[in-house]
């Protein structure tokens, strides 16, 4: 980052004493409650239902661009079961999730992210960024983006995945093409790809190409998840050793 005086940054020193600057890091830390992929999916479906109500349309069936083509699921709204069927349109899906970022909230600095939370200025060319959990399972396991990430690559592969008939995806899953990603999670990977791209590029203002972005679920053979961030945040309160 450029400005280490930003109030959105915290100092973490993982060195052996308070004067060890070689292990001193300034880290942007924030939490985005209800903006994880599963919670956002629920909010997204609720928006679909509300839109149908405004248009006085039947709630017995919903066409969802964020489910793979011909995939289906049943959701319960009130006392009623509603069938949701996928149309597999990534572009339309992505435009549909953008309002859920809530980027219209008041921003007290020149750069803000989801819900108006202030962002520091990043030197994207000089830093390495890692995505964990849903980033790994969606981008690498499902879309097979293993290196040289770019928005255009994500968009192209997500569009192909979303538009494939669900029966074809399920057959590939049965022969192990998607590793240990279960079918229910796989069914929502079109939505997750749209949300991830929205968070990265429209929420956090990452460039659409030429930045060092990787994803993993392992560090030195150990499974690591989003809780790594919470661990690092907590480490600043521990005595240096």
Angle (nearest 5°) at CA 148 between 143 and 150:
70
Closest C-alpha among 63, 67, 70, 237 to residue 166 = 70
Separation of alpha carbons 45 and 29, rounded Å:
29
pLDDT of residue 123: 81
Query: What pLDDT, on a 0 to 100 scale, did the predictor assign at position 7?
Result: 60
Return phi, psi of residue 212, to 5°. Answer: -85, 95
Buried b (16+ CB within 10 A) or exposed e, 169-186: beeebeeeebeeeeeebb
Residues of the chain with CATH 3.30.420.150: 33-231
Shortest CA distance to 156 belongs to which of 197, 100, 124? 197
Token digits of residue 31: 């939490």
Q: Which residue has the tokens 């339309």?
A: 92
Give the separation between CA 193 and CA 93, rounded to whole angstroms. Answer: 10
pTM above 0.85, yes or no: yes
**Mean pLDDT for back-to-back runs of 10 residues, the chain (241 residues):** 57 72 78 86 94 82 96 90 96 97 85 87 82 91 91 98 98 94 95 97 92 86 75 67 56
At 34 the pLDDT is 78
Put residue 122 in one of left, alpha, beta given phi > 0 → left and psi -120 to 50 → alpha: beta
Q: How far apart are the first and last CA of the chain?
A: 27
The CA R_g of the chain, rounded to the nearest whole Å, is: 20
Q: What is the pLDDT of residue 29?
A: 76
- What CATH code would you report for 33-231? 3.30.420.150
């Amino acid at each position: 980052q450029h400005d280490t005086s930003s109030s959105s940054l915290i100092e973490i020193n993982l060195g052996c004493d308070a004067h060890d600057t070689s292990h001193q890091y300034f880290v942007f830390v924030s939490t985005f409650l209800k903006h994880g992929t599963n919670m956002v999916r629920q909010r997204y479906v609720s928006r679909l239902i509300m839109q149908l109500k405004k248009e006085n349309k039947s709630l017995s069936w919903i066409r969802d661009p964020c489910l793979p083509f011909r995939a289906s699921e049943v959701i319960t709204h009130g006392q009623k079961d509603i069938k949701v069927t996928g149309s597999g349109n990534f572009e339309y899906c992505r435009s549909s999730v953008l309002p859920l970022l809530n980027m219209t909230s008041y921003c007290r600095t020149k750069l803000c992210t989801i819900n108006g939370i202030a962002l520091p200025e990043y030197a994207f060319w000089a830093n390495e960024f890692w995505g964990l959990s849903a980033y790994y399972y969606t981008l690498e396991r499902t879309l097979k983006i293993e290196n040289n990430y770019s928005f255009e690559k994500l968009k192209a592969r997500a569009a192909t995945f979303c538009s494939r008939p669900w029966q074809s995806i399920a057959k590939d899953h049965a022969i192990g093409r998607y590793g240990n990603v279960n079918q229910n999670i796989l069914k929502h990977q079109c939505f997750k790809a749209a949300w991830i791209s929205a968070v990265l590029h429209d929420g956090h203002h990452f460039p659409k190409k030429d930045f060092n972005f990787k994803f993993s679920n392992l560090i030195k053979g150990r499974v690591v998840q989003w809780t790594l961030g919470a661990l690092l945040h907590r480490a600043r309160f521990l005595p240096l050793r």
